[in-house]
Structure 1
Amino acid sequence: MNAAPDPGASQAAASSPWRVAAVSFCVLALELGLIRLVPAEVKAISYFTNLILIASFFGLGVGCILQNGPRVSWLLPAGLAAVAAFVLLARGIVVYEAAGAVHYWLQDRSASGDAVRLPLIASALLAFATCALPFVAMGQELARRMDCQARLAAYSWDIAGSIGGTLAAALCAYLGTPPWAWPLAVAAIWAAAIARTWPLRLATLAAGAAFLAFASAAHPSAWSPYYLVQHEREPEGLRVWVNSSFHQFALDTEQTDIPLVRQTMQKFSIPYDRYREFHNGRSPRSVLILGAGTGNDANVALANGAERIVAVEIDPAIYELGRRLNPTRPYDDLRVEVQLDDARHYLHTSRERFDLIVFATLDSQTLLSGAANLRLENYVYTVEAFRDARRLLADDGMVGLYYSVMKPWLYGRIFSTVHEAFGPRVEFMRTHAPFLFNSIIVAGPNVAGFGGDPQLIADLGGYRVNTDDWPYLYLQEPTIAPVYWQLFAAVGVLIVAAFALLRWTTPAAGWHANFLFLGAGFTLLESAAIVRLALLFGSTWVVNAVVFTAAMGTIFLANVAVMKRVAPSLPQAWIGLSVALAVNYAFPLQTLFAYPSAVRTAAAALLAGAPIFFAAVCFSRLFEKQPAAGYPLGVNLIGAMGGAMLEYSSMVLGMRDVWLVLLAVYAAALLCSGPALAAERVTGAAVAPGWRKLSRSATR
């Protein structure tokens, strides 16, 4: 049975192509805004941020499939209102043991009030359903407007709008614009440029205005590029929450009459005390602090007589909070140099040597992006990171590491990783005062007589270590947590439902399985690029924004190349894609650190960009032959959901073997593109002479 077509589909024929870009801009802006807003406010979603990405893909895909179905424009204001209501009502939902394999903290209170108990999977599905709704309307509008233009020209406008939305989101992150303002801005743009009737315009504006409810907070707050940061002054100092979870406490170190302050400062000083014991009472003169936060560690270094302190902090808002509101204002001291950088990136690039390197409490409480299951600190607690730190130590230097450990196996994981990098001269201490941290590791690889307790090494030294290939500190073993399998099952059901919807609305449209696998491959490819470049250049929001923008730009160039008939043919593109994926799998990324920054950047751009370019050429060559835009585009977006789920395979396989998964996904896409390849061999494809010559040479 076919759904009755909506006459509005033909009315879009007069649509200007720039409106395609406007729709795409709104899609990206709303998607990135919700990826930041929902996990920050709803604690149950805070460690599953790609859930919102998957929801947006599903909504867009269904909307595109409904290209010729009944108009669903009303779902945009209804969906925006539903998202606002869900987030407001779910602010206190907490994560319990169901998420223990992802993050071991049990969150029992939020910064905004008492917590509400709700099963994790239930809250995740609620978030998914509400966040998908507005994108259904957007997907249908996008497909209809694209269908009124030449196929590849419309796709170019679509990508241009996506680039604009990504750049706007990056600018908002830089300016500290709260993400609750993004849906409001999207509603305004949609009402002005896209909506066709006054009732729809007014309803969209009203739904966008509902997000103004997030302008007020229980505590003073600011949005950093990573977090919602809130704080509150207390007698002992400054309490800081990020994404509604306790994160830091800037101690008033002058309040030594308060037991909590006195005990905590004593814990902080243990690495300095151990240093003095093995250096004839001399304190470390130069100190590197990784994860300097609001300034506690800088305070401790100053109190212990350090003459030079380099404080590395990734989050500018956290640093600014410490600079302004830390009771003793350590960042105003001329001995303290602040570097706003990723800790691992600083270890890679610094050439300075230090008497003491402190790994502060870097637990990030967030993921790098909505497209990669990589926490901000993942690459800090690996064997390779500790070896980088060892390289920066003075000849008789030492390393101190603070951590809060709640699981017995995690003691062994961290100790084994440090022991692997530094050798037997490692000490592990537990403290009875758990505030801020309860475990301390001190390593002195070249300090005679230090550490080396055989019993300690026997007890804690046999655990699996964290590496750059498998950096999942909170996974006890390579596995995919049960909660993710539940999400996989839900996503699988939704993919089947989407195909059923396609067959119901347009039985003659075909399955478009090649577009399904191309969508899965691209999402996984983008995620792999983010992870790879995070290791090279740091897990920062700037790197994230550059990767997204560069990926979209590469797709745009590939599409233009196909339009201008200067791109490789479809068979050539498949060969190029396969070679590029194989090179990424085989290439030893660590070798790039031996080269200057310009060489490293160029090599990384080529490694990450080549497979994206060839995959985009494959998509454009297949897409230009489609009689309608909506169906293949919708199936492609549904496939992107599967790609987002496949990213979790790295938890079992490791980061490198994800490239083998990509090869398998694109091989499936190639098999499903057999008829298109056969047709191109018969009819020929317009390609540039250089590609034609290369193809003839390859077949000799």
Structure 2
Amino acid sequence: SEVRIFAYFKNFVLIACYLGFGLGCALCRRRINLLATLAPVMLLAMFVTLPWEPLRRIVNELPDAIGAFSGVHIWSVLPVSSTTQLFGAIVLIVPLFAFITLMFVPVGQLVGWYLEKATKGIAAYTINVLASMAGILLYTLLCFEYQPPAVWFAIGGLLLTVLLWRSPRLRWSAAVAFGFCVILTSLGTGKGRSVLWSPYQKLSISPWKSGNETIGYTVNTNDNWYQVMIDLSPQFVTGHQNLLRGVPIEWNAYNLPYQFHPKPPSVLVLGAGTGNDVAAAIRNGAGRVVAVEIDPLILEQGKRLHFEKPYASPRVETVLDDARSYLQNGKERFDLILFSLLDSHTTSSYFSNIRIDNYVYTVEALAAARRLLKPDGLFVVKFWVDRPWIGGRLRGLLTRVFGYPPVLLKAEKSYTTEGSFFVSGSQEAIGRAMANPNLAAYVKSHENVPLQEAAITTDDWPYFYQQEPGLPSSVLIISLVLAVVCWWAIRETGYGARWMQWHFFFLGAAFLLLEAQIISKMALLFGTTWLVNSIVISALLLLIVGANALVQWKPDISSTFAYTGIFISMAISYSIPLETYFFDSLWLKVLVSALVLCLPVFFAGIVFIRSFASAGFSGNALGSNLIGSLVGGLLESLSMWTGLKSLLLLAGFLYLVSFLFRHEESVSKVAVTDLASSQTSA
């Protein structure tokens, strides 16, 4: 959140973590240097918090340097490419990547050392996985409480201090370093500005003043403008006509949809935010309003600060959910459905390049929205179109779903942001609205929505902010640079290709791709929310625990059997269309999707733990596996070219390669002892 470019490329952070952790595991027999963790942590804390204006400007301009060079749209970035800018961005990103990598090397060394020294390797690895689940639970609780970075640093420092308790010098070093980070990240946020941390992003809220009067509240996400709370009540508008810039109030962007459908009995607002569109629906006579918002903290701020108090109205029902999830699972039908500037400033998880709203703007999503429209209803998409191909894509999507082109118009800026409108739905209802000569004249004079052809987005290729399928130049260049950095780091540590255990390497690469596509599909089924991600990752870890338990109970289980299970379950998952899982019953949907989509993880867990035992639970094997996961993280970007289903095919191929590289020798003496003792204790 503090380095905004990583809000759009979170998987690069994941790759850095895997590199550091993997190198640490491989180097677990070398002396551990805790400074390699503490120094980068403190430097990163200083980097993102020091109020040095030149540094802040450089950090804030990183998205400009990368986004302008790319086919991927980043908000507020103009499409003016500059090789010099891109080079400068890479010069800054590489040290950040290195800092993150260095932080995890000692942690990986500790984990690798403990696993190698454990007398019962499977039990030790299982405890490690269960601890990861506990970490996810802690993460979930902190997100629920909207805790700032200072609290995260404090908890991380406390855990590390406890781990190092036996060494006074190390524990005090950790306590001092993390204490420094806590103090640094607790510094003031600036006069009149409040900074809050939602599960998705950093929120900054500042009053918008006209003289001594507060006329709005500006909301920034990740230090980038996001939305503004305004007051369009009749009383306020009467006394502040100058704010409207000469635009009649009925043509204000928030009131405009109700020129097409006056006093609708029911309205669905998707992306309700702080409440401007909800307030507009109430002002314009809506009988019932369902307001769907994904970010709980934004919703809370709207309830607390919005001038018109729309969320307090008895006519309004708030729903905390992902827009696609609501569309897919909703039963109620509406007279007016409004996509309210539904745009994302972050990705949905660290495992993919999918942004939170990508699954909202697909053919399948808009078809689901059409299903929730009443026969005479209208569907309105309001969007800030600053790239012609985004306008063209929206027009193409609506034309395909509704069978005819939408009505297009662009509202003027009038105490609000400007916005482009795409109006579809009942042709009869649109015809009646356009019979109003005032509306017809307004539409005719405001049809200047920029349009350019673009590929149609689907659930398999949901990259709404990418013009065409392919590898965006920024992703490709940065991935290549990071690959070179990774290769250099591996070579410089003496952990070269001849020490790599390729069986584990390909297992790691395959598993990361398998995990990425499972999380993407589960996000589509249950919503791209942080809570869904936490639950899905915990479920996958639980399957790994189950695989470990099975191998403890049946140590002679065949790896060939497990590989067969991987390939069969992946083939089933690939062949069943995702819409098959949209059952009316939530529990049936959970059960069937978990069984079909996640089953390959169970078999993959069997293969890994058997192989890990055969390798004597060596740090080198685990390091090879994690470095393979790093490569899988880079390969995940291929879905931006070939689609998400292709990740499953690629994962299957990598599992096949890992099968060819598996060790044929019998289980080592250490592994046999471990398996036998585990079976006896069971």
TM range (shorter): 0.7 to 0.9
AA of the residue aligned to 1:440 = F
Change (3 A) 1:96 1:482: same
Instruction: Specify the SS of the correspondent of 1:638.
Output: helix
1:557 offset after TM fit, Å?
1.2
Structure 1 gap ranges (5+): 1-39, 109-115, 277-282, 689-700
Is the Cα–Cα contact under 8 Å of residues 62 and 136 in structure 1 kept in the other structure? yes
Q: Distance in 2 between matches of 1:239 and 1:501?
A: 48
Residues 17-57 of structure 1 show CA distances to partners (whole Å, capped at 9, x for unaligned) of xxxxxxxxxxxxxxxxxxxxxxx111232211122211111
1:582 offset after TM fit, Å?
1.3
Structure 1 counterpart of 2:292: 312
1:523 offset after TM fit, Å?
1.4
Matches within 5 A, 1:488-503: 488-497=479-488, 499-500=490-491
Is the Cα–Cα contact under 8 Å of residues 375 and 426 in structure 2 kept in the other structure? no
Q: Identify which of 436, 453, 456 aligns with 2:417.
A: 436
Matches within 5 A, 1:239-318: 239-254=218-233, 255-256=236-237, 257-261=240-244, 263=247, 266-276=252-262, 283-318=263-298
1:499 offset after TM fit, Å?
4.7
1:457 offset after TM fit, Å?
14
Q: Distance in 1 between matches of 2:610 and 2:413?
A: 63
Q: Distance in 1 between matches of 2:481 and 2:626?
A: 16
Is the Cα–Cα contact under 8 Å of residues 513 and 651 in structure 2 kept in the other structure? yes
Structure 2 counterpart of 1:44: 5
Structure 1 counterpart of 2:89: 120
Is the Cα–Cα contact under 8 Å of residues 391 and 450 in structure 2 kept in the other structure? no
Is the Cα–Cα contact under 8 Å of residues 409 and 449 in structure 2 kept in the other structure? no
Structure 1 counterpart of 2:82: none
Greater Cα shift, 611-620 or 589-598: 589-598
Structure 1 counterpart of 2:353: 373
Is the Cα–Cα contact under 8 Å of residues 507 and 608 in structure 2 kept in the other structure? yes
Matches within 5 A, 1:291-690: 291-424=271-404, 426-433=406-413, 435-447=416-428, 450=431, 463-497=454-488, 499-500=490-491, 504=494, 510-565=499-554, 568-627=557-616, 629-673=618-662, 675-676=663-664, 679=666
1:145 offset after TM fit, Å?
1.3
Q: Distance in 2 between matches of 1:230 and 1:552?
A: 35
Normalised by the size of structure 1, how large is the TM-score?
0.85
Instruction: Specify the SS of the correspondent of 1:268.
Output: coil
AA of the residue aligned to 1:625 = S
Instruction: Specify the SS of the correspondent of 1:86.
Output: helix
AA of the residue aligned to 1:311 = A
Is the Cα–Cα contact under 8 Å of residues 502 and 658 in structure 2 kept in the other structure? yes
Q: Distance in 2 between matches of 1:411 and 1:243?
A: 25
**Structure 1 vs Structure 2 CA RMSD:** 2.8
1:188 offset after TM fit, Å?
1.7
Is the Cα–Cα contact under 8 Å of residues 115 and 121 in structure 2 kept in the other structure? yes
AA of the residue aligned to 1:294 = T
Q: Identify which of 38, 44, 61 aligns with 2:22.
A: 61
Is the Cα–Cα contact under 8 Å of residues 377 and 429 in structure 2 kept in the other structure? no
Structure 1 counterpart of 2:49: 88
AA of the residue aligned to 2:129 = I
Residues 652-679 of structure 1 show CA distances to partners (whole Å, capped at 9, x for unaligned) of 1111222111111211211111x33x64
Change (3 A) 1:51 1:618: same
Q: Distance in 1 between matches of 2:123 and 2:323?
A: 43
Q: Distance in 1 between matches of 2:167 and 2:427?
A: 74
| Identity in percent | 33
1:465 offset after TM fit, Å?
1.3
- Residue 214 (1) aligns with residue 182 (2): no
Q: Distance in 2 between matches of 1:659 and 1:626?
A: 27
Q: Distance in 2 between matches of 1:441 and 1:528?
A: 32
AA of the residue aligned to 1:184 = A
Q: Distance in 2 between matches of 1:566 and 1:602?
A: 28
Q: Identify which of 196, 200, 206 aligns with 2:170.
A: 200
AA of the residue aligned to 1:152 = I
Q: Distance in 2 between matches of 1:373 and 1:523?
A: 14
1:241 offset after TM fit, Å?
0.9
- Residue 174 (1) aligns with residue 144 (2): yes
Residues 78-111 of structure 1 show CA distances to partners (whole Å, capped at 9, x for unaligned) of 2221221222255541211522433332359xxx
Structure 1 counterpart of 2:211: none
Instruction: Specify the SS of the correspondent of 2:29.
Output: coil
Structure 1 counterpart of 2:113: 144
1:433 offset after TM fit, Å?
2.5
Change (3 A) 1:410 1:379: same
AA of the residue aligned to 1:275 = H
Is the Cα–Cα contact under 8 Å of residues 222 and 229 in structure 1 kept in the other structure? yes
Instruction: Specify the SS of the correspondent of 1:624.
Output: helix
Residues 318-348 of structure 1 show CA distances to partners (whole Å, capped at 9, x for unaligned) of 0000000011111111111100111111111
Q: Distance in 2 between matches of 1:595 and 1:41?
A: 40
Is the Cα–Cα contact under 8 Å of residues 76 and 204 in structure 1 kept in the other structure? no
Residues 97-153 of structure 1 show CA distances to partners (whole Å, capped at 9, x for unaligned) of 522433332359xxxxxxx99933233222211112221111111111111112212
1:446 offset after TM fit, Å?
4.4
1:388 offset after TM fit, Å?
0.9
Normalised by the size of structure 2, how large is the TM-score?
0.87
AA of the residue aligned to 1:47 = Y
Residues 164-192 of structure 1 show CA distances to partners (whole Å, capped at 9, x for unaligned) of 11111111111112234223212222112
Number of paired residues? 627
Is the Cα–Cα contact under 8 Å of residues 67 and 74 in structure 2 kept in the other structure? yes
- Residue 225 (1) aligns with residue 205 (2): no
AA of the residue aligned to 1:664 = F
Is the Cα–Cα contact under 8 Å of residues 293 and 322 in structure 2 kept in the other structure? yes
Instruction: Specify the SS of the correspondent of 1:473.
Output: coil
AA of the residue aligned to 2:348 = L
AA of the residue aligned to 2:202 = L
Q: Distance in 1 between matches of 2:553 and 2:603?
A: 16
